[in-house]
Amino acid sequence: MSSSTRYNRQIILPEIGEEGQEKLSRSKVLVIGAGGLGAAILPYLASAGVGEIGIVDHDVIEISNLQRQVIYKTEAIGKSKAKEAKAMITELNPLVKVKAISEKLSGRNAISLFEKYDIIVDATDNIAIKYLINDACLVTHKPMVYGSIFRFQGQVSVFNYKNGPTYRCLYPEENLNAANCEEAGVLGVSVGIIGMLQANEVLKMILGIGAILSGKILVYNTLNNEQQKYDFEKNDFQTITREAFEEKYNKCEVEEVSFESVLNEMDNDEVLFLDVRNVDESPKISLKNQIQIPLMHLESKLEKLDKKQTIYIFCQSGIRSKIAFELLQKHRFKNIKSIAGGALVMRNLLEEKKDSHEFTNFIF
Amino acid sequence: MIEVKYFGAVAEKTKCEFETLSFSEQWSLEKLLQDLNEKYEFESLTFSVAVNQKIVSKTSDYTLQTSDIVALLPPFAGG
């Protein structure tokens, strides 16, 4: 079989064999960040035959990335990292199922994404997102393979492995000030080495071989080749429930859209415009798919709303719609947005469009 | 004598990767950290502390022993 020939050199390792290869092909790994670390991790996971790889990165390739993000070609400058990384993997090993996710990881998408994978790899370059990944891994019970760099030093560890110690056990103080590569500078080989150590932990975990860096942080110095391992313990106070996660990450982040950007969805039956003003307020806005529930009654009338629909909330000027947004969010509505500026902005825009005869299906 | 190792942004502040310090009377880990903070002004830098390769609480009342190795490990952010 061509696939066993492809993987022959690792299959003949007694620690791996056909059985190990089977484990690899059944595994699903999500790599967050397709920068310097990701560029080292991704090709090795793909070529080893990891069955499914997800790549999360919302950035585009810049020329200053190329000295360390070695999977990208110069001609790809300006293109999506996630998509380019996917194309690279598909060329390298078409047997791998790859998903490019060109979105920013946030409290909104982290949990649903993590649930689809077995192992989460942190190849990101800022501290805030590392806490987010840690917390989402805790909620979804996934191991987090951590790597990070400061100049010629790198750190590697595996958090939440079989309920083991986490990033918060190691770094309980959430200080977001540490410098990234952009600010501190880095040589490509340094991120390559650390990324490779992360990929190694991923493969060991899938194969069930060796000792995982759980409860241990490896610190590597590329200038003198010294490496140290430090032990740390689980702190049961540093855990997080799903409710606490939602509270922390999804509370005040109201997603706003401009009315103009959703005008073309006015006739879409999957979409609902929710007016949270009182009935006596004007200007009146009457769109085809619209419902009016004043904010004060909203919580008691949630059954009138369909969670599957995209709901655009508006009020008079965009303040109450934000409160309504938070309320719906609390009740686990996912596809909701608040219309910036509210009915006043909407009226003006609809009048403009009416004058230009673009729309006729509304009344004041 | 004890040895103190510095990593990442902490070593940038101390301008050295390690130093040996001697002490004559009882010296707790907490006091050592206070002294280092006064000397180097770590300010907003956060770090975890290890004694003999094991991360410990910064406020532990551990009394330093001769030949202990203390390490200051800040989180790194690059990638």
- Put simply, the answer to whether B75 touches A155 (Cβ < 8 Å) is yes
Q: Is A127 on the interface with B (CB under 8 A)?
A: yes
Residue A87: Cβ-neighbour burial (10 angstroms; 0-12, 13-18, 19+) = middle
Domain-wise residue ranges, chain B: 2-73
Could you please report the per-residue DSSP string of A266-306? TT-TTEEEEE-S-TT-SS--B-TTEEE--HHHHGGGGGGS-
What is the spatial distance between Cα A262 and Cα A312, in angstroms, rounded to a whole number?
9
**What confidence tier does A252 reach under pLDDT thresholds 50, 70, 90?**
low
Chain A nearest-CA distance from B55, in A, is 5
A194-198, A235-239, A352-356: least confident range? A352-356
pLDDT above 90 covers a percentage of chain A that reads 75
Residue owning tokens 């598909």 = A90
Q: Is A240 on the interface with B (CB under 8 A)?
A: no
Residues of B in contact with A186 (CB under 8 A): 78
3-class DSSP assignment, residue A66 = coil
Q: Given this model, what pLDDT does residue A65 score?
A: 97
DSSP state of B62: P
> What number is the average pLDDT over the span A198-211?
98
Is the complex ipTM more than 0.90? Answer: yes
**What confidence tier does B67 reach under pLDDT thresholds 50, 70, 90?**
very high
CB A65 within 8 A of CB A37: no
CB A206 within 8 A of CB A278: no
**What confidence tier does A363 reach under pLDDT thresholds 50, 70, 90?**
very low
Instruction: State pLDDT tens for residues A130-166.
Output: 999 999 999 999 999 999 999 999 999 999 999 999 9
Instruction: State pLDDT tens for residues A17-40.
Output: 999 999 999 999 999 999 999 999
- Phi, psi for residue B13 in degrees, rounded to 5: -70, -45
The yes-or-no verdict on residue A361 having pLDDT over 80 is no
Nearest residue in A to B53, CA atom: A230
Q: Given this model, what pLDDT does residue A331 score?
A: 86
pTM value is: 0.77
3-class DSSP assignment, residue A147 = strand
**CATH no., domain B2-73:** 3.10.20.30
Q: Given this model, what pLDDT does residue A359 score?
A: 56
Per the model's pLDDT, the better-predicted residue between A224 and A246 turns out to be: A224
Nearest residue in B to A32, CA atom: B79
Strand partners, B49: B56, B72
Strand partners, A259: none
| Domains, chain A | 2-244 (3.40.50.720), 254-355 (3.40.250.10)
Instruction: State pLDDT tens for residues A269-308.
Output: 899 999 999 998 889 998 989 999 999 999 999 999 998 8
Q: Is B44 on the interface with A (CB under 8 A)?
A: yes
Q: Is A225 on the interface with B (CB under 8 A)?
A: no
- Put simply, the answer to whether B76 touches A150 (Cβ < 8 Å) is yes
